[in-house]
Structures are given as C-alpha cells and as structure tokens.
C-alpha cells in the first residue's frame, strides 16, 4: 500500500478581521492625525505583529483606500436618489451629508484626497451624482464635468476646513472655530491690509456651514446657466 499523502502544514490562523484593522486605523487617525496610522501603529493597536496586518493589506495605502471606501459606503444614497425632491435640494443634502461624515474624521480627509477614489463605493457615489445631474437636464458630457466640479468643491472645502484646525483630533464646534478665526483676523493691521481687516467677519466664517452652502449654490447656479447656454453656443458655432 502506498503511504497516505501528508497533509500540508496549516498557515497561521487569522485572528483579526479587516474591519477590526480599519477600526484601529480610524481611531489612530481620529486621535493623532494623518501620520498616526502606520502599519506598525495599527498592529500595536490591535495587539498583533505587523505581519498580522500584512495578511489583510499589503501596505498602508491599501488600508487607507479600504477606509475611504468604508466611509463613502456609509453615505445615504436615499438622500439624493429621491426624485420627488428638487434636484438642487438633493445635491445640497448629499453635500451636507458628506461634510458631516468626513468632518467627524478629519484625519482621514487629507489621505482621502491624496489618492484616487476609484473603489466600488466611490464609483457608485459618482454614478448616483451623474443620474441626479441628468435629472437636472444636463447632457452626458456636461453632467460628467459638473460632477467633477461638485466633487472638487465639496472635498476641497472640507479639506480646507480640516486644515484650518492645525492640530489632530476631532473638530471643535463650528461656533468655537469661527470665534478663534475672528480673533485672529481682527488683529490684522488695517494700515497694511485694509480690505482683509474690513472683511474679518466674513473671513472668519469661511469654515461655516453658511459659507459652504453659499459656495455650493453659486456652483449650482453656474452649472445650470452653462447647461442652458450650451444649445445657443452650439448653434452659434454651426
């Protein structure tokens, strides 16, 4: 009789899940900012050797990408797919939802805009936005350009708001941050920067929800105006 085939040696048993690793990375980013979530730091947080993290993710970039995907997957698509609501209101609801979710994790924001957002959840979000803009009457090419403009505005505004804090950790209340900015801008010497000194109140409010929506509405005004002018421009060029 031939000898029974020897069973291969089992590899190390996985004691973690991807979600536990992402939870640890998010906690580190929330507490310590963008530089806190190294693979070594994540491993220490969950109580394993760094190789335990590499079992699931090849490097820190892969952890960040998965974390971004998870955060984008939490966006409530029902907010902007309800066609019973005006399209502009749906865009505003989406923009406010993104701002609320990302501002809760400021350490993630710089990492989010530092790499491509091309995962399934990011693509699904873009797809829904393109559908929404089609509902607004935009043709395919204009909708694609408008979607990029809106994404740039939303993520850019959030990134600047987060960067204004100059320290890791959660964002203080909006009113507190505006007061801090107001004190700083109020100290601007008017003899050197008269316009800046005169606009101290408005400059302090750059990080406010009011300013965020003001800018978003101006962007939407431009999108709809451009879409309305497109047929006339096309006819004039024929």
> Along the chain (238 residues), what's the average pLDDT of each consecutive run of 10 residues?
46 72 95 88 94 93 93 86 89 93 90 86 92 93 96 94 84 94 96 97 96 97 73 43
Convert the pLDDT of each residue in 222-231 to its tens digit: 998 865 554 4
Q: Answer yes or no: are the C-beta atoms of 147 and 126 closer than 8 Å.
A: yes
Conformational region of residue 150, where left means phi above 0, alpha means psi within -120 to 50, and beta covers everything else? alpha
Convert the pLDDT of each residue in 150-166 to its tens digit: 999 999 999 999 988 87
Convert the pLDDT of each residue in 161-207 to its tens digit: 998 887 778 889 999 999 999 999 999 999 999 999 999 999 999 99
CATH class of 77-171+208-237: mainly alpha
Show me where the domains of the chain are located.
77-171+208-237
pLDDT score recorded for residue 203: 96
Neighbours of 233 (CB within 10 A): 9
Residue 221 in 3-state DSSP?
A: helix
pLDDT score recorded for residue 14: 54
């Amino acid at each position: 009789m031939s000898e029974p085939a020897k069973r291969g040696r089992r590899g190390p048993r996985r004691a973690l899940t991807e979600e536990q690793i992402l939870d640890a990375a998010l906690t580190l980013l929330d507490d310590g900012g963008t530089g806190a979530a190294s693979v070594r730091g994540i491993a220490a947080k969950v109580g394993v050797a760094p190789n335990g993290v590499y079992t699931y993710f090849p490097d820190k970039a892969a952890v960040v990408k998965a974390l971004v995907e998870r955060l984008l997957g939490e966006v409530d698509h029902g907010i902007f797919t309800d066609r019973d609501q005006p399209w502009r209101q749906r865009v505003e609801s989406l923009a406010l939802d993104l701002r609320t979710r990302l501002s809760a994790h400021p350490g993630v924001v710089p990492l989010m805009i530092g790499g491509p957002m091309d995962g399934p959840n990011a693509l699904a979000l873009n797809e829904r936005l393109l559908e929404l803009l089609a509902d607004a009457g935009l043709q395919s090419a204009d909708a694609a350009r408008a979607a990029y403009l809106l994404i740039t505005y939303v993520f850019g505004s959030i990134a600047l708001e987060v960067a204004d804090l100059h320290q890791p950790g959660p964002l203080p209340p909006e009113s507190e941050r505006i007061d801090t900015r107001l004190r700083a801008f109020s100290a601007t010497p008017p003899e050197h920067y008269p316009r800046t000194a005169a606009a101290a109140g408005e400059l302090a409010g750059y990080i406010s929800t009011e300013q965020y929506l003001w800018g978003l509405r101006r962007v939407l005004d431009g999108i709809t105006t451009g879409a309305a002018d497109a047929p006339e421009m096309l006819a004039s060029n024929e």
